[in-house]
């Protein structure tokens, strides 16, 4: 049984639409758990006394026996915290072993053209891509919710 740390946004940039990214992450968690993977979401774990989000992130990675990290990256979500988590993973590489990272990205946020990754979302995001590159993350595209679910089923078999 492998243990996954499932990262990703909780809300859309324009609130209201259902399912929310958090709902989707819970669904992905259920898919992995049905295949005997243990899955951790930051939001489900209690804060320890006096710790902030960075401490909590580090504590989970240190103490939970994480075998791989999955980053859910949809289109149109509030991604800042997830981007920051990618940077924290990258920083962690300087002193510790970082588990393999798998990025599940919508086809419209990231693409590979002629062998080169290109970010399609607006704003200066290249440093996050640099972090992903330093992490040696795997990135596969999905377009529909069903494709995403199928991707996660196959990922469960892969790991």
Partner 1 sequence: MIPFDRRGKHLRVLMAFRRHGPLRFNQIQEKTQLRPTEVNRILHELTSSFLLTAKVVPGTGKHAFAEYHLTKAGSAHLKAFDVYADSLRHQARAVGERTLRALESLYA
Pattern of binders to partner 1 over 88-127, x per CB under 8 A? ---------------x---x---xxxxxxx--------xx
**Can you tell me the distance from the alpha carbon of 66 to that of 100, in angstroms, rounded to the nearest whole number?**
9
Looking at the Cβ atoms of 59 and 84, the one nearer to partner 1 is: 84
Q: How far is the CB of 54 from partner 1 (least distance, A)?
A: 23
What are the C-alpha distances in Å from 83 to residues 15, 35, 65, 88, 129? 19, 28, 22, 9, 9
Q: How far is the CB of 47 from partner 1 (least distance, A)?
A: 31
- Does residue number 142 form part of the binding site for partner 1 (CB under 8 A)? yes
Looking at the Cβ atoms of 22 and 84, the one nearer to partner 1 is: 84
**Can you tell me the distance from the alpha carbon of 14 to that of 40, in angstroms, rounded to the nearest whole number?**
26
Q: How far is the CB of 41 from partner 1 (least distance, A)?
A: 23
- Window 24 to 63, contacts with partner 1 (CB under 8 A): none
What are the C-alpha distances in Å from 32 to residues 10, 59, 65, 77, 80? 18, 22, 16, 22, 25
Which residues here bind partner 1, judged by CB under 8 A? 103, 107, 111-117, 126-127, 129-130, 132-143, 147, 150-151, 154-155, 157-158
């Amino acid at each position: 049984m492998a243990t996954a740390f499932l990262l990703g946004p909780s809300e859309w940039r324009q609130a209201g639409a259902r399912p929310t990214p958090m709902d989707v992450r819970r669904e992905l968690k259920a898919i992995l758990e049905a295949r005997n993977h243990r899955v951790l979401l930051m939001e489900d774990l209690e804060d320890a006394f006096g710790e902030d989000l960075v401490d909590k992130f580090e504590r989970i990675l240190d103490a939970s026996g994480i075998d791989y990290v999955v980053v859910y990256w949809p289109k149109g979500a509030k991604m800042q915290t997830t981007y920051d988590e990618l940077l924290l993973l990258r920083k962690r590489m300087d002193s510790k072993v970082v588990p393999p990272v798998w990025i599940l990205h919508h086809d419209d946020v990231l693409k590979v053209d002629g062998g080169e990754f290109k970010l399609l979302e607006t704003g200066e995001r290249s440093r996050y891509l640099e972090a992903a590159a330093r992490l040696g993350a795997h990135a596969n595209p999905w377009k529909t919710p069903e494709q995403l679910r199928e991707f996660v089923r196959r990922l469960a078999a892969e790991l």
